[in-house]
Amino acid sequence: MKILVCPHHMGMGGSQLNAIELAGKVRELGHEVVIYAPDGVLVSMVRDLGIPYAEAPGTGNAKQWRLELNRLIDEHRIDVVHAYEWGPSLAASFSAGIRNSTPVVASVMSMHVPEFLPRHLPIIVGTPAMASELAWQQRTAFLLEPPVDVQANTTVDAAGARRQLGIADGELVVSVVSMLSTELEKLQGILSAIALVDRLAEEHPVRLLIAGDGDGMEQVRERAWEINKAHGRIVVDALGYLEDPRPAYAAADIVLGMGTSAIKGMAHAKALIVQGEAGYWKTLTEENAEHFLSEGWFGYGGRGVADLEAALLALFADPDLRVRLGAFGRTLVESRYSLDRSANELAKIYFDLLAHRGSTSAGTRARSLLRSAFEVSRFRTAMKSGAPTEREKWSHSGVDL
């Protein structure tokens, strides 16, 4: 098969990393893969893997994006277009799916599928609950849980990672690897963690490692500087973007995270506190694991800092508990989220799409695209109006505002 993979951008983030890592593994299975995406820091990873890369126009040039997509399909004789997130998925549906009937499949890694995606478009989601919901809506859905390279993501030398990051013996390290953006309240949660660690540092030798970049980087660095100055030591270590964030996981005693970041923390055998929206923080345990396996590594609603403080203090006080929960998480990842296993499942999805190529009638596609165009128009109007309730609705639909 020949597959064209279209991540929505090439900045650091779970969706893009999944797209690239899966593309590399699918290529190892003997298929031809081309990645089509705007320039960004992850392009070097694509080239290191030896995957052909075609630069896409930046945001705001949708017509040129579609023209170049169709050119690549013709040039490489593409069998399947795999688009990640809603922007490329929409653009591919309105170009490749119409012009030459090339099968298009969308991966949506957020916690909700945007309502305006075409109804006939097959969608890959990351949790059993989302797959069931889409099936109930009579949409074609495939389950592919967020994969992790379990060989690459394992802690071999925690002491070496701590030395590399300048961490002293006896420090309790809490690590966050995340985009510093307001999407899914990632930044808000990290700022809450910073404020809490500032207070806990009065009585505990805690250090908060923050690896990642984004719109909130300056705010995070300012708070870190103020707190470190007040304590006379590094309490909040804002590392910024790390091309290889594995040392941040390896050095940790505890990982805070959601989605792929949470799974990678487990792969490194670290005790995990799952972050979500609206004050959600919960420690992964043997008792609640099935909930996360079904619903995803996320949550909504809680007591905010009070829940995070209780979770951290319980783990600070019990090193054996940290080790036990870390080992439990590693076992979960090995059995459920292996990158090799996911690549084989993805190849089966591609074959399924090819086997059913042309099974959707032209009339069904036309009605689906017409409805989608109407819903996208409503979305853009809502964004221009700035109505808070509408923005909230679209934000919770996984739309990058």
Which tens digits make up the pLDDT trace of 369-395? 888 787 887 777 777 766 555 555 444
Both tokens of 327, joined, read 């080992």
Rounded CA-CA distance 68/64 in Å is: 6
Examine domains 2-147+338-395 and 158-336 and report if their fold is the same.
yes
What's the average model confidence in pLDDT over 138-167? Answer: 94
Which DSSP letter does residue 184 get?
Answer: G
Give φ, ψ of 281 to 5 degrees.
-145, 130
Rounded CA-CA distance 213/235 in Å is: 19
Both tokens of 297, joined, read 């590594």
In this predicted structure, the answer to whether residue 1 has a pLDDT above a threshold of 80 is yes
> If you search the block for the tokens 């909230």, which residue do you land on?
392
Q: Which residue has the higher pLDDT, 401 or 164?
A: 164
What's the average model confidence in pLDDT over 57-72? Answer: 86
Supply the pLDDT for residue 399.
42
400 falls in which pLDDT band (50, 70, 90)? very low
The residues spanned by each domain of the chain are 2-147+338-395, 158-336
Q: CB-hemisphere CA count at 13 Å for 27?
A: 17
Of the ranges 82-91, 229-238, 351-360, which one carries the lowest mean pLDDT score?
A: 351-360
401 falls in which pLDDT band (50, 70, 90)? very low
pLDDT digits (tens, 9 = 90+) for 90-103: 889 888 756 557 89
In this predicted structure, the answer to whether residue 164 has a pLDDT above a threshold of 70 is yes
Supply the pLDDT for residue 286.
97
pTM for this predicted structure: 0.84
**Of 254, 49, 265, which is closest to residue 178 (Cα–Cα)?**
265
Both tokens of 208, joined, read 């908060």
Rounded CA-CA distance 127/332 in Å is: 15
Rounded CA-CA distance 7/18 in Å is: 9
Domain 158-336 in CATH 3.40.50.620? no
Supply the pLDDT for residue 388.
53
Task: Tell the CATH superfamily of the 2-147+338-395 domain.
Answer: Glycogen Phosphorylase B; (3.40.50.2000)
In this predicted structure, the answer to whether residue 240 has a pLDDT above a threshold of 50 is yes
Query: How many C-beta atoms surround the C-beta of residue 86 within 10 A?
Result: 22
Strands (E) across 156-223 are located at 172-177, 206-211
Give φ, ψ of 271 to 5 degrees.
-60, 135
Give φ, ψ of 190 to 5 degrees.
-65, -40
* Cα 115 from chain centroid (whole Å): 20
Rounded CA-CA distance 70/92 in Å is: 9
In this predicted structure, the answer to whether residue 397 has a pLDDT above a threshold of 80 is no
pLDDT digits (tens, 9 = 90+) for 178-226: 989 887 799 999 999 999 999 999 999 999 999 998 899 999 999 999 9
